[in-house]
Amino acid sequence: MLRNVSDLLLRNGRPWSPGQPVGTADILIRDGRIEQIGAGLTAPGARAVDLEGALVLPGFVDTHCHLDKTLWGGPWVPNTGGRSLAGRIANGEGRRAELGIPDADYSAGLLETMVTGGTAYVRSHIDIDPSVGLAGVEAVRAAADRHRDRVDVELVAFPQGGLVSRPGVTDLLAAALADGVEVVGGIDPAGFDGDPAGQLDVIFGLAERFGAKIDIHLHDPGNLGAWEFDLIIERTRAAGLAGRVTISHAYAMGALPPAEQQRIAESSAEAGVAMVTCAVGDAPVVPLRVMHAAGATLALGNDGIRDLWTPYGDGDMLRRISTVAFRDRLLADEEIELALAAGTHGGAKVLGLTDYGLRPGARADLLTVQAPAPAAAVVGVPVRGLVVKGGRVVARDGRLVE
Amino acid sequence: MLRNVSDLLLRNGRPWSPGQPVGTADILIRDGRIEQIGAGLTAPGARAVDLEGALVLPGFVDTHCHLDKTLWGGPWVPNTGGRSLAGRIANGEGRRAELGIPDADYSAGLLETMVTGGTAYVRSHIDIDPSVGLAGVEAVRAAADRHRDRVDVELVAFPQGGLVSRPGVTDLLAAALADGVEVVGGIDPAGFDGDPAGQLDVIFGLAERFGAKIDIHLHDPGNLGAWEFDLIIERTRAAGLAGRVTISHAYAMGALPPAEQQRIAESSAEAGVAMVTCAVGDAPVVPLRVMHAAGATLALGNDGIRDLWTPYGDGDMLRRISTVAFRDRLLADEEIELALAAGTHGGAKVLGLTDYGLRPGARADLLTVQAPAPAAAVVGVPVRGLVVKGGRVVARDGRLVE
């Protein structure tokens, strides 16, 4: 048999799946998929790599970022956003032209960093408003195209500056969705947009019209946030959109009394509504143990990375997983692995991937790290040895493989 | 003139001091001290190094860690501490023998990592209780001795498992102080030890008897914590110990109403009581802007690093400074620099260093990083280029220089 360049035999790895013990195994990859996982595999003609006991993780899923906003790789831009949400939105829109964003080069540079860190899938919110129009969609699509064999990018048409409160935005979202953007976004239907029923009417209406998924930014705190969770869950049930609706940030969830957290987690699980937490600054983190116990889907993301909103962020999903675990005070190994599961399989559920994970038949999207245990990898954030996407080695030791 | 190996001319650096603009300058170091900072310096015989525009920061001060507890560099130990303070204390004491801690090798390994990260001064709490006695003092002193030219280590005799509530501990603390330990510690005089007046009587009594400084762990929340702040501040005034008393963690401070935060910060500043924040997990961070506005001293530390209490931590003070800035939601450059000031000059004040900083006459303890701005260094946590301690290059690019 002729050697197929896409065939890869990874020897002596320690593949991880959530809730499973880790043992040494070989992984045979053919035609971009995992064909077999087991001891002492042979595959004449395949390229063999000795992983020397490295831990093997499924490719990270960054379920929440803002590729269109980033200034990654550019000059240092001191933050001028101030502290109010409205002021930060105005700053974010007002300085775009001066800084030349959205910019495909910045977005592509950030995607490169994400890939070298082992991220295989990205969901990026894209600002849509009358001033920027769909320029963010174009820029990020151009950037994603440059890395099309290294990472899959899904877009959210995101009304960052308001939806029903801002004339023209509904039509722009519709135009983005008509143009193939996969997800319709929203933002604080009550606290920011001022008309929760109205905003959800528009979002769920667009989702139905275009067959789009839904992902709503929800920073509203306390009882207001909890009330909106219930509203979104109820709408999801009514629309039959189980598995296609995500609440991003869900700050209220991290600060509610335990019984209320549990009720909402169970309700989310039952209705098929996912949550995404990013552990940004001092904002409450969606409690991982509560979501896990309820069987609810929780995913993670880097949120803003070096943009007009925040000077922080590095695009590294393993570091974000570590930050979430640290913030949620996950201590025992099996607790820490919940954060790893959220940054991998949780994200895959949000994106609706059906062929994800380290198992025969799944797409060969994986990475390796030297770590004595999965929890140790989360805590130590070691450099990624190999990053494999679709069966191809795309990065090694923190650098792209051309 | 013969070349003096301790003379060093650092060319084209960008030295930083809190609240000052950063400009390019040379730094001349003689006999372990900064002799001159300015443009176009010459020093025949001195070893010249071109910093190529690197930012120069004063050596970091890790004002709060637990060198005696660490398992740094050893096998991965899954956390078994559970979630109650009492349970974590019992776990921390109960598994010492099995794991062979305190251990000078672990402590020395962690000190090495700290040094390569640019830390020049360390204050370490050392558990003192009837089971371990003063073994932690001996182990950490042995470790510090191995790195005596690379980092200065100050010890706190710390009653982790209780003071007045635990027979024999007062005498052990006295023995440690008599043996030269510089600081007497305490822990939640109300919430854990159950006798705030009693514990403070012992601590302030020992401080007076041995001329020791004071550093009290204070996790007690809300009004209880605030009441203890007032108690400690009042005792400090009465004992004339301004500048010699520190409240570590001070969790309550981060969660009080703004007016109460301001009152306590001003009161701390007036009485010469410092606070230390470590931004551990989800615990409230002492608000940096409030402390700065009041002129109060705030310092930072890594707290526990890979020990029976926490699986987290890497000993890198720049990353801790970054975490504190992120958690306290410092956004503008001048805000982010407050965290840098806390991790350097704030710590120096807590330790009582009088010859600290980047100025003529100060000890030449500094480090370099490639970063376009001080805030960018905090956000990006770049590798430390040169680390200089007492005028000698002790580490370069993340490795010790032997």
Q: What residue of A is the nearest CA neighbor of B371? A: A76
Q: What is the DSSP string of A195-210?
A: -HHHHHHHHHHHHHHH
Q: Which segment of A84-93, B244-253, B371-380, B391-400 scores lowest on mean pLDDT?
A: A84-93
* B87 shares contact with chain A (CB less than 8 Å): no
* A14 shares contact with chain B (CB less than 8 Å): no
In tens, the pLDDT along B364-394 reads 999 999 999 999 999 999 999 999 999 999 9
Q: What are the two backbone dihedrals, phi and then psi, of residue A328, each rounded to the nearest 5 degrees? A: -85, 5
* B312 shares contact with chain A (CB less than 8 Å): yes
B242 falls in which pLDDT band (50, 70, 90)?
Answer: very high
A85 falls in which pLDDT band (50, 70, 90)?
Answer: confident
* A96 shares contact with chain B (CB less than 8 Å): no
The count of CB pairs under 8 A between chains A and B is 70
pLDDT at B2: 45
Q: Which segment of A79-93, A238-252, B216-230 scores lowest on mean pLDDT?
A: A79-93
The residue among B22, B251, B285, B326 with the most chain A CBs within 10 A of its CB, best to mutate, is B326
Q: What residue of A is the nearest CA neighbor of B377? A: A76
Mean pLDDT of the region B236-254 = 98
Instruction: List the single residue in B76, B333, B372 with the smallest CB-CB distance to A373.
Output: B76
For A221, A368, B22, B324, B335, the CA distances from B372, given in Å and listed in that order, are 36, 32, 10, 20, 16
pLDDT at A86: 85
| CA neighbor of B323 nearest in space, from B297, B345, B343 | B343
* A85 shares contact with chain B (CB less than 8 Å): no
Q: Is the pLDDT of residue A5 over 80?
A: no
In tens, the pLDDT along A317-332 reads 999 999 999 999 999 9
Q: Is the pLDDT of residue B84 over 90?
A: no
Q: Is the pLDDT of residue B3 over 70?
A: no
CA angle B373, B377, B381 (to 5 degrees): 165
Q: Where are the domains of chain A?
A: 8-58+356-400, 60-351
CA distance A73 to chain B (A): 12
B76 falls in which pLDDT band (50, 70, 90)?
Answer: very high
B85 falls in which pLDDT band (50, 70, 90)?
Answer: confident
For B68, B156, B204, B207, the CA distances from B172, given in Å and listed in that order, are 16, 12, 15, 14
The answer to whether B337 touches B6, Cβ cutoff 8 Å, is no
CATH code at B8-58+358-400: 2.30.40.10
The answer to whether A183 touches A215, Cβ cutoff 8 Å, is yes
ipTM associated with this complex: 0.96
Q: Are strands B8-15 and B25-30 parallel, antiparallel or unpaired?
A: antiparallel
Spatial distance between the Cα atoms of A46 and A37, rounded to a whole number of angstroms = 15
Mean pLDDT of the region A68-90 = 93
Inter-chain CB proximity A75 and B332 less than 8 Å: no
> Does A167 or B3 have the greater pLDDT score?
A167
Query: What proportion of chain A, given as a percentage, has pLDDT over 70?
Result: 99
Amino acid identity for residue A76 in this structure: W
Mean pLDDT of the region A377-381 = 98
Inter-chain CB proximity A333 and B80 less than 8 Å: no
pLDDT at B402: 81
Mean pLDDT of the region A206-226 = 97
Inter-chain CB proximity A281 and B376 less than 8 Å: no
In tens, the pLDDT along B338-358 reads 999 999 999 999 999 999 999
The answer to whether A159 touches A89, Cβ cutoff 8 Å, is no
Spatial distance between the Cα atoms of B4 and A194, rounded to a whole number of angstroms = 71
Spatial distance between the Cα atoms of A137 and A179, rounded to a whole number of angstroms = 9
Instruction: List the single residue in A80, A81, A379 with the smallest CB-CB distance to B311.
Output: A379
> Does B86 or A281 have the greater pLDDT score?
A281
Inter-chain CB proximity B310 and A332 less than 8 Å: no
- Identify the H or E element spanning A94: helix A85-94
pLDDT at A216: 98
| CA neighbor of A380 nearest in space, from A314, A315, A317, A319 | A319
Find out if CATH 3.20.20.140 is the number for domain A60-351.
yes
Structure tokens at B297: 């001293």
Name the percent of chain B in helix, strand, coil, to the closest 5: 35, 20, 40
Inter-chain CB proximity A282 and B83 less than 8 Å: no
* Residues on chain A touching B373 (C-beta within 8 angstroms): 76, 78
- Identify the H or E element spanning B223: helix B222-239
Torsion angle defined by CA atoms of residues B80, B84, B86 and B90, in that order, rounded to the nearest 10 degrees: 0
* Residues on chain B touching A79 (C-beta within 8 angstroms): 331-333
**A37 contacts: CB under 8 Å, gap ≥ 6:** A15, A25, A26, A27, A28, A358, A359, A360
Residue A314 has a CB neighbour count (10 Å cut-off) of: 18
The residue among A91, A113, A326, A378 with the most chain B CBs within 10 A of its CB, best to mutate, is A326
In tens, the pLDDT along A316-370 reads 999 999 999 999 999 999 999 999 999 999 999 999 999 999 999 999 999 999 9
A8-58+356-400 folds as Urease, subunit C; domain 1 (2.30.40)
In tens, the pLDDT along B171-210 reads 999 999 999 999 999 999 999 999 999 999 999 999 999 9
Spatial distance between the Cα atoms of A345 and A366, rounded to a whole number of angstroms = 12
Whole-angstrom Cα Rg for chain B: 21
* B167 shares contact with chain A (CB less than 8 Å): no
B33 falls in which pLDDT band (50, 70, 90)?
Answer: very high
Q: Is the pLDDT of residue B88 over 60?
A: yes
Amino acid identity for residue A283 in this structure: A
Spatial distance between the Cα atoms of A364 and A141, rounded to a whole number of angstroms = 23
* Residues on chain B touching A312 (C-beta within 8 angstroms): 322, 326, 379
Q: Is the pLDDT of residue B5 over 70?
A: no
The answer to whether B60 touches B387, Cβ cutoff 8 Å, is no
Q: Are strands B119-127 and B152-158 parallel, antiparallel or unpaired?
A: parallel
| CA neighbor of A15 nearest in space, from A340, A333, A300 | A340
The answer to whether A391 touches A332, Cβ cutoff 8 Å, is no
| Residue recorded with tokens 């999965």 | A374
Residue A388 has a CB neighbour count (10 Å cut-off) of: 27
- Identify the H or E element spanning B25: strand B25-30
Q: Are strands B366-369 and B386-389 parallel, antiparallel or unpaired?
A: antiparallel
Inter-chain CB proximity A76 and B281 less than 8 Å: no
* Residues on chain B touching A326 (C-beta within 8 angstroms): 281, 312
| CA neighbor of B233 nearest in space, from B264, B189, B256 | B264
* B84 shares contact with chain A (CB less than 8 Å): no
Inter-chain CB proximity B332 and A83 less than 8 Å: no
pLDDT at A1: 40
CA distance B379 to chain A (A): 6
> Whole-number mean pLDDT of chain B?
96
